[in-house]
Amino acid sequence: MVVKGKKVTLLFLKLVAFSIPFQVFALPVSGKGIETGHLFFTLALVFLLRDFVLKDGRAAGLDAPERYLLLFLGGAVISFAIGFHLFQFMGHEIKGIKQLAGLFEAASVFFVIHRSVSTPDEFSGMVRFLVAGMGCLAFSGLWQFLAMNFTGIRLLADWSWAQGLNPSLGAGWRRCGEMGGLYRAHSFAPEPAQYAMMLTSIIGLTIIRIFPHKGFQRSGWKDLLPSLALCMGTVLAYILSFSLLAIVSLMVIIAAYGGLFFEKKHSVITGALFILVLFGIWTAMNTATEGKIAQKMITIKMIMPTGDKDITSDALSALALASNLEVGLKALKANPFTGWGIGGHPFAFAQYAPVWTARYPILLKLCKEDAGSLGIRLISETGLIGLSLFLLFIWGIIRRALHAIKEAEKKASASAAPLVPLCIGLLISTIGVVIRVLFRYGSYYSLVFWVSLGLTSTIPQVLSSCPEAVNVPFIRGCDDGTN
């Protein structure tokens, strides 16, 4: 019964991973949209509780990532209680309870994946479904870019009609954004920035496939990775979102790949080549958009407290971050350790919003519910304690996954060898997703974020389940004993 229940749980988890990009297709309930991924996850959670936690007692033993996450959740509850007691603003308790409920649901996604995925087949199966869903998103975006810019065909290219399918998206829907006269790829994602953020979850896998480490096994290392055609198409679709943060995330992912898994003497050469490639991509994008990319980069200075605040369509995101950062720092000063409490940022914004935001009503509307970045929201609502505990949780996952991969390199397990490139690709993808969410996504609940973290957290247990076999080198040119 337990084995059967686990299979059902894993099936629903795979559907969760596949359905991440399809958030536009939701079940409308009371003016909100319940996304398909949430529905699949609820079913997965039911089977996990029935067959694992309640019957096997597996909840008794918590490992480090689970303990770190529980510490953060406890800190979030404490911050809510203290914030409500100190500030007692009208509506805080309702807003806070909703935010806490969403945060606990997000944490449940992590727990379910972490508890359910433990073997190579389960791990690779989950990643395969994630890649399949993101592949649909990427190639739909490629078609959209070609159709809207060059053929004028709107069939399955202009998704603006779908904005009413998920009421929760609301004003977040940007239709087909333009950049220098070109429609930006975003497919059925609400906007190009979210399109790029979701694709970030597999960009590391595409980098591994296109630029494999020379130490990978000659046979078998491609078996679990996406096809070269899918990888090339995904990278192209990612770039055609014309998202500045997409380029930054790509640089972070490449830096993580080279810095963590290449020898120092090779990192310099590899880094120089990657910089040239990125410079070429940057130049091509800037040329194609008539210099708009460079202009958008200049808007970053608006985030700084001393930067000029001049609203344009390209500067809106920078101004939103600038205003929220100022509010977050003032909220931190008011209560440095626990902040204004979960759900308190909108009320902090109402009190500490910079004077210049009054000139831009659209900013007030955007910032009412969205702090601009999760890092700023954590600073504002949970203070230094909440932010530290959250970063500790993330660092613990990345550190344990990296250590497990390094150990797999040393042991040179024949069964683990094909898994290592897959694990490396997922790990560096997750690093990119974390950077995106902390710096430019203001919600506690991001399915792609928590699924990526959950899968990355399973790397140690997945690799440790592989039987060992010596003298099978596959990373860093490990000596096989013949030299």
Q: What single DSSP character describes residue 309?
A: -
Model pLDDT, residue 356: 76
Model pLDDT, residue 442: 79
In the structure, how many helices (H) and strands (E) does the chain have? 18, 4
Model pLDDT, residue 427: 97
Q: Are 75 and 382 in contact (CB under 8 A)?
A: yes
Model pLDDT, residue 1: 40
- Give the relative orientation of helices 120-146 and 228-239 as an angle to the nearest 10 degrees: 50
| First-residue to last-residue Cα distance in the chain | 51
Q: Are 292 and 180 in contact (CB under 8 A)?
A: yes
Q: How far from the centroid of its chain's Cα atoms is residue 40's Cα?
A: 19
Query: In sequence order, what are the residues at sequence separation of 6 or more whose Cβ sits closer than 8 angstroms to the Cβ of residue 418?
Result: 217, 220, 221, 223, 224
Nearest in space to 415 (alpha carbons), one of 223, 202, 215: 223
Model pLDDT, residue 182: 83
Over the stretch 133-142, which tens digit does the pLDDT of each residue have? 999 999 999 9
pLDDT < 50: residue spans in the chain: 1-2, 54-60, 313, 469-483
Q: Are 192 and 144 in contact (CB under 8 A)?
A: no
Place of tokens 């039987």: 467
Over the stretch 359-395, which tens digit does the pLDDT of each residue have? 777 776 666 667 778 999 999 999 999 999 999 999 9
Q: Are 99 and 147 in contact (CB under 8 A)?
A: no
Query: What is the pTM for the complete model shown?
Result: 0.87
Model pLDDT, residue 90: 58
Query: CA–CA separation, 66 vs 4, rounded Å?
Result: 25
DSSP string, 261-286: HS-HHHHHHHHHHHHHHHHHHHHHHH
Burial status of residue 324 (CB atoms within 10 A of its CB: 0-12, 13-18, 19 or more): buried
Over the stretch 90-111, which tens digit does the pLDDT of each residue have? 566 777 888 888 888 888 889 8
Nearest in space to 352 (alpha carbons), one of 366, 367, 341, 362: 367
Model pLDDT, residue 89: 62
